[in-house]
A and B are shown apart, each in its own frame.
Chain A
Amino acid sequence: DGGITQSPKYLFRKEGQNVTLSCEQNLNHDAMYWYRQDPGQGLRLIYYSQIVNDFQKGDIAEGYSVSREKKESFPLTVTSAQKNPTAFYLCASSMGGTLRPYGYTFGSGTRLTVV
């Protein structure tokens, strides 16, 4: 079955460390997204990519970096510059098409905790 796989499900980071969250999809979707979820704040967009080798900053990109070398993969790196990284991170993908949004497919998330 097609879907989005995020790994790991739980991740612990020490102060000053960079960590990378994995997101892989086999839906043949063009667009992929990273969201951060904090209690009571809904989802906030970190980065998104509409095609391979191209990505755009979202609302809260500071302290994060991404790459899109393959259509199927959109890893997110949480750098030491991100001062409050403890959150639930969600990856999503969509068929794209600027005039016909089809809704997004979400992964099951990664919970990142700073220790």
Chain B
Amino acid sequence: AQSVTQLGSHVSVSEGALVLLRCNYSSSVPPYLFWYVQYPNQGLQLLLKYTSAATLVKGINGFEAEFKKSETSFHLTKPSAHMSDAAEYFCVVTYGGSQGNLIFGKGTKLSVKP
């Protein structure tokens, strides 16, 4: 079965440090890829998406992600963490087809230390 793996359920960084959240998908067919962010007791907000155009995708709040087909990865990065980045981040894939096959990673909680 197709799946998406987020390495690390919790990641902690210092304010100003690099943020790296890892995501790998399991398919030889390139999917459509998304990163969403969720703040406590809120819905999910789209950070960025890859839909087979440029492999380096820029999103909101200074985040970006690079699609690497050879590594089946779509890691999320931000050069300098801010306290307001503390949230849970979800990597999501879909292969088109049925509208019901959005596949969510289990999420990574990002903590930012002052």
Contacts and interface: CB of A to CB of B under 8 A. Distances in A.
A104 B96 contact: no
Interface residues of A, number: 32
Contacts of B99: 31, 33, 48, 50, 94, 96, 98
A74 interface: no
Interface in B57-114: 90, 94, 96-100, 102, 104-107
B46 A103 contact: yes
A103 B42 contact: no
Contacts of B51: 100-101
Interface size class of B (residues with CB under 8 A): 20 to 34
A40 B32 contact: no
Interface stretch (A62-70, A78-86, A105-113): A105-113
Interface of B, secondary structure class, is: loop
A42 interface: yes
B44 interface: yes
A33 B99 CA distance: 9
Nearest to A48: B100
Contacts of B90: 42-43
A41 B106 CA distance: 5
Interface of A: 4, 6, 9, 31, 33, 40-45, 48, 50, 56, 58, 88, 90, 92, 94, 96, 98-101, 103-109, 111
Nearest to A32: B99
A42 B94 contact: no
A43 B9 CA distance: 14
Given A31-B99, A40-B9, A96-B99, A109 B43 contact: yes
A4 B45 CA distance: 12
A41 to B, nearest CB: 6
B96 A111 contact: no
A9 to B, nearest CB: 8
B41 interface: yes
A57 to B, nearest CB: 9
